[in-house]
A and B are shown apart, each in its own frame.
Chain A
């Protein structure tokens, strides 16, 4: 079993929809939780970064962490065609060293106009 599980999709939604992307993990000692966005043929870029359980909001994006359930989510409100990308969850091992980030498989999202 992988340490971090993420449904690869693809997920297709109409423009304006609310999107929910999720990851589960097995190691309760993971410390920092991140969401990266990767456009086709580009490198991943950091979208959201959280440490504690709860919600963190940034514009149309909300990251949610539930450490008791070992579950993290990314919500996208009013989704746009420009949100079409692969979304990767990532988390740091207990050492906290992000040189050793552990990634999910990535979920491919398509937002149709």
Chain B
């Protein structure tokens, strides 16, 4: 049972490049979320999904896109990377409303 798996673990991009952060969970969780973590800011919600085909914006959605075609996968797309998107990104999943969030190990992104 792998839990929540994120790839890649590290990535360096140039300004303007696009990329996709992958997230997969094998716990059959309906709820999946993407957070970014910056020093002094805690974890901030980017996008979340309550099930396949359903997504919604969180606190800081600008510059990011998501889709949820299957229960297992929830990729996060950076459309045109900017230095302000340098951060650690965490994917998380939960099996029910108000349930425990299970996090991946994070993806560290640097935008030059």
Interface pair B31/A98, CB less than 8 Å apart? yes
- Which of B43, B44, B90, B94 has the largest count of A CB atoms less than 10 A from its CB? B43
Chain A's closest residue to B31 (CB) is A99
CB-defined A-B contacts under 8 Å, sample of 30: A6-B42, A8-B40, A31-B98, A32-B98, A34-B100, A36-B101, A41-B106, A42-B105, A42-B106, A43-B4, A43-B103, A43-B105, A43-B106, A44-B43, A44-B90, A45-B103, A97-B31, A97-B97, A97-B98, A98-B99, A99-B31, A99-B33, A99-B48, A99-B94, A100-B33, A100-B45, A100-B58, A101-B45, A103-B43, A104-B42
Q: Using Cβ atoms and an 8 Å threshold, which residues of chain B touch A102?
A: 45
Interface pair B103/A44, CB less than 8 Å apart? yes
Q: Using Cβ atoms and an 8 Å threshold, which residues of chain B touch A36?
A: 101
6 tightest A-B CB contacts, nearest first: A43-B103, A99-B48, A103-B43, A105-B42, A99-B31, A103-B42
Q: Using Cβ atoms and an 8 Å threshold, which residues of chain B touch A49?
A: 100
The tally of CB-CB contacts under 8 A between chains A and B is 69
Question: Residue B90 contacts which of A8, A43, A46, A92 (CB distance < 8 angstroms)?
Answer: A43
Interface pair A88/B31, CB less than 8 Å apart? no
Per-residue interface assignment for chain A, residues 69 to 112, with 1 indicating a CB less than 8 Å from any chain B CB and 0 otherwise: 00000000000000000001010100011111111111000000
Chain A's closest residue to B101 (CB) is A98
Interface residue B49 (Cβ < 8 Å from any Cβ of A)? yes
The bracket for how many chain B residues form the interface is 20 to 34
Which residues of A1-58 are within 8 A (CB) of B? 4, 6, 8, 31-32, 34, 36, 41-46, 49
- Which of A34, A45, A96, A99 has the largest count of B CB atoms less than 10 A from its CB? A99
Interface pair A98/B106, CB less than 8 Å apart? no
Q: Using Cβ atoms and an 8 Å threshold, which residues of chain B touch A8?
A: 40
Which residues of B36-90 are within 8 A (CB) of A? 40-45, 48-50, 58, 90
Question: Residue B104 contacts which of A41, A43, A88, A104 (CB distance < 8 angstroms)?
Answer: A43
Interface pair A100/B48, CB less than 8 Å apart? yes
